[in-house]
Amino acid sequence: MLTISCTQLFRLASLRLALFTLLLAPIQLSAVAQETTISAIEDSVVKIYTTSAEPDYFTPWRLLTPRQSSGSGTVIEGNLILTNAHVVADASFIQAQKHNDPERYQAEVVFISHEADLALITVTEPGFFSDLQALTLGALPKIREAVSVFGYPIGGKTLSVTEGVLSRVEHQRYAHAGSYLLAGQIDAAINPGNSGGPVVKDGQIVGVVMQANAGGRAENLGYFVPPSVISHVLEDSRDGKNDGFPDLGFRTQTLDSPAAKRARGLQSGDSGVLVIKVFEESPVDGVLQRDDVVLNINGYDVADDGSISINDDMRTDYKHAIDLADVGEPITLTYIRDGDLLTATVTAREALQSYSLVAGQQYDQVPEYTIYGGILFVPLNMNLILRWGSDWARAAPVNLLQPRNEWSSPERREVVVALQVMAADVNLGYHDWRNWIVDYVNGKPVRDFRHFVRMLSDNTQEHVTFSNTNGYQMVINHQEALESEAEILARYRIPAAHSPGLLDE
């Protein structure tokens, strides 16, 4: 029989404890290292407090009631804080607060890209950045890789850190300004207040949190601005001028139909997208034509569904091949026209203000308006439409929604609306007219809002006749309109007949 003394038992237990300690040591060291890394990142994440007051597009000389909100941001090189544009949009006062510091410091916007929902702010207080480490920009993680989300969500005052997995990368409609750019999707919990906080992997910024899943149809799904978009904005900010993302000025549809492909001269194995619209005065005006088939953009093959491959695991919209270019850089297109394979190089230029007759939602802008004969005239844009509330698609007048589906052109870039009539003798007979589109002034077509204002200021006729394509007319005596202006402004407590700068041109 084998017998073991107490001494041997003690030595064996000691040996086992030593082996266990050795095995546990790497885990403990890893945990300590991870905790040290998280602690360093925590000091680089700040809370942002914003007081903002949006313009009231129903009465464009006024502001809506100011509101307070908060978000998050990350310290980067150059004594800058990277955050979301929607965190500081229409801001009248901004403050930044460091981790574990009760004091708030006044901040200001240095650069903003509403299109990419990104902003750079800074704090001028001496020494604010002296004890903060600037984080660097890393590469986009691979699908199913784990990431950490840092921020200050509602429900508490301290910094929150959540974990998630990168589940998808593709083009998404950004909620802030409606732009269509590359976005990453993660399953980490994202709530109000997280906006602008960093998505981190290996101590580097690999994204900026921008929005949670809309509509409540899915839980724990959020989206972030990926490194390629962040890098583009940082490069754009260097000269202080926001050039934005280029747009070549053409629109396409998918080419999934075999019959349609044969009709356009594509051979077996060819793939591409069909050009359905080329905008005048755009970079591809005179290069591409309607019914051309675009096969390749800057070395990216375009699939029939309009996607391109950005790596072995990810595909996204071909727009990404254009988004990667800066304004002024060349972009090469390969396309088929009537069976012939053609190649052309165009220069990337700034996107037009709007390719639709209705411009998208704008921020940090003073609304344009003019008052003539007691009638408030404004340009039609999404800011105005959104004043009908979250259910604007049903609540807004149908005639104001229809132009959203029409292309703009050099002959007609914008829609003018007679928004409301401020009752006075000069406009008798029209007191109940509102939300009325003006297509012509004295029979001449209106190109855009500023052209409309010049038509009024340059008028020499006795009467001004406003009319639309349906034939309805509104007639105002020009001299009476001018003479009654001061009295109408005083009666309705309106500070000026025109928005600032409208008559400068």
pLDDT band, residue 30 (cuts 50/70/90): very low
Order across the sheet with 416-421: list the strands.
370-372, 375-379, 416-421, 436-438
The radius of gyration computed from the CA coordinates of the chain, to the nearest angstrom, equals 29
Q: Please confirm, yes or no, whether 504 is among the known catalytic residues.
A: no
pLDDT at 39: 73
pLDDT in tens, 261-300: 888 888 878 899 999 999 988 999 999 999 999 999 999 9
Mean model confidence pLDDT for the chain = 89
Residues belonging to the chain = 505
Q: Average pLDDT in the 409-420 region?
A: 95
The predicted-structure confidence for 440-466, as pLDDT tens digits, reads as follows 999 999 999 999 999 999 999 999 999
Can you tell me the mean pLDDT for 24-45?
A: 59
Asked whether the domain spanning 370-491 has the same topology as the one spanning 45-123, the reply is no
Q: Residues 70, 195, 408, 484: which is the catalytic one?
A: 195
Q: Find the mean pLDDT for residues 155-179.
A: 89
pTM to 2 decimals? Answer: 0.85
The pLDDT value given to residue 20:
47
DSSP, collapsed to helix, strand or coil, labels residue 52 as strand
Strand (E) or helix (H) holding 453: helix 449-457
Q: What token pair was written down for 60?
A: 């464009």
Q: How much is the pLDDT for 286? A: 93
Task: Give the contacts of 492 (CB within 8 A, at least 6 positions apart).
Answer: 422
Residue of 44, 72, 117, 247 marked catalytic: 117
Asked if the model's pLDDT at residue 74 lies above 50, the reply is: yes
Sequence-separated (6 or more) residues with CB below 8 Å from residue 44: 74, 75, 132, 133, 134, 135, 198
pLDDT tens-digit readout, 219-260: 567 899 999 999 999 999 999 899 999 999 999 999 988 888
117 is catalytic: yes
Catalytic residue among 44, 69, 86, 160: 86
Looking at residue 261, its pLDDT comes to 87
Would residue 187 show up in a list of annotated catalytic residues for this protein? no
In CATH, what class is 45-123? mainly beta
For residue 187, the model assigns a pLDDT of: 87
Q: Alpha-carbon distance 422 to 488, whole Å? A: 8
Summarised one tens digit per residue, pLDDT across range 111-126 is 999 999 999 999 999 9
Strands of the sheet containing 444-445, edge to edge, are 444-445, 440-441, 463-467, 473-477
Predicted local confidence at residue 27, as pLDDT = 44
Question: What's the CATH code, domain 370-491?
Answer: 3.20.190.20
pLDDT over 60 (residue 12): no
- Greater model confidence, 59 or 42: 59
Q: What residue spans define the domains of the chain?
A: 45-123, 146-239, 250-347, 370-491
Q: What pLDDT, on the 0 to 100 scale, is given for residue 371?
A: 98
State the DSSP H helix or E strand holding residue 91, giving kind and residue range, or none if neither. Answer: strand 91-97
Domain 146-239 belongs in CATH node 3.30.70.260? no
User: Which CATH number does 250-347 carry?
Assistant: 2.30.42.10
389 phi and psi angles, rounded to 5 deg: 100, 180
pLDDT at 40 over 80: no
